[in-house]
Amino acid sequence: MCESNVYLQDGENEVLIMESVDTIEPCENGVNLMDILGRQMFVPARIKAMTLLNHRIIVEKIS
Amino acid sequence: MCESNVYLQDGENEVLIMESVDTIEPCENGVNLMDILGRQMFVPARIKAMTLLNHRIIVEKIS
């Protein structure tokens, strides 16, 4: 399966905020995430970088 | 492999602009893409939606 884990960058650290994410939809104030089980989460952050082969999506807080 | 294909939304159509994308990095004026072979492309667009299980990333032009 090709879902990714989403990490929130916090300074030099990256905090895992959601696993097994399937859909990602940026919106005006953040990003909507949904995992493979249909669970949804809104995060007030923007996408910073993604490396799909590593299943990693990094988001950072909107300042 | 968990790379995705990137499509540019053009009205009601979606045009495939890059296949087998591994890394995606939004920047101020668009998004930088790199495929699994290391080929790079800059697109003056923003991420609209991603469905990783379907290997689809939709971008739309920055207006």
Using the predicted structure, report yes or no on whether residue A2 has a pLDDT greater than 90. Answer: no
Per residue in B7-61, pLDDT tens? 999 889 999 999 999 999 999 999 999 999 999 999 999 999 999 999 999 999 9
Is the complex ipTM more than 0.95? Answer: no
For residue B63, give every residue at least 6 positions away whose Cβ sits within 8 Å of its Cβ, in sequence order, or none: none
Closest CA of chain B from A32, distance in Å:
10
HSE of B6 in the Cβ direction (CA atoms, 13 Å)? 26
Which among A58, A60, A54 has a CA at the least distance from the CA of A3? A54
Residues of B in contact with A26 (CB under 8 A): 46-48
HSE of B29 in the Cβ direction (CA atoms, 13 Å)? 2
Q: Which of B47, B53, B55 sits opposite A26 (nearest CB)?
A: B47
Using the predicted structure, report yes or no on whether residue A47 has a pLDDT greater than 90. Answer: yes
**Domain extents for chain B?**
4-61
A60/B4 Cα distance (integer angstroms): 22
